[in-house]
Amino acid sequence: MADRISSERRSALMGRIAGRHTRPELWVRVQLHRAGFRFRLHSKHLPGSPDIVLPRYRTAVYVHGCFWHGHHCRRGTRPTSNVEFWTKKLDANIRRDREAAETLQSLGWRVHAVWTCQLTDDTDRLIAELKQARRALETLAL
């Protein structure tokens, strides 16, 4: 399907998309904080600069937009115009995400991707796993 707006307007809209502190990321941060977890943001010393880092639990969280990171859902559909450009760009994003996750895992970190289309489910799953890790740490401390 052809784009409904001019390429100049589309370029301006795409240029306004933020890479950090997005609404989905803020929502995940609020939920983690409410659950009692403390974290760091955008840690540059870790591969891929994860959106949220929970050092105590050695957990890195990426909040992925479905379009930009190639999720297999309705929101992750690729454009039908300028296909070569978008294929190259989105495939590079996916490859970079995979490499960062593999590197983190090889360093002993847990990696979670929270997708915008599954925000509530993914966040609930993440919080449940972190609570389980918290209980395990508390047991070791006793």
| pLDDT digit string, tens, across residues 23-32 | 889 999 999 9
Which tokens in the block code for residue 90?
Answer: 């989105």
Partners of 112 in beta bridges: 61
Query: What value does the mean pLDDT take over residues 126-141?
Result: 85
The pLDDT of residue 49 is above 80: yes
Q: Domain segments of the chain: what residues?
A: 20-137
The domain made up of 20-137 has a fold known as Endonuclease; Chain A (3.40.960)
pTM for this predicted structure:
0.81
The pLDDT of residue 142 is above 60: no
Reduced to 3 states (helix: H, G, I; strand: E, B; else coil), residue 59 is strand
How confident is the model over 83-120, as pLDDT tens digits? Answer: 999 999 999 999 999 999 999 999 999 999 999 999 88
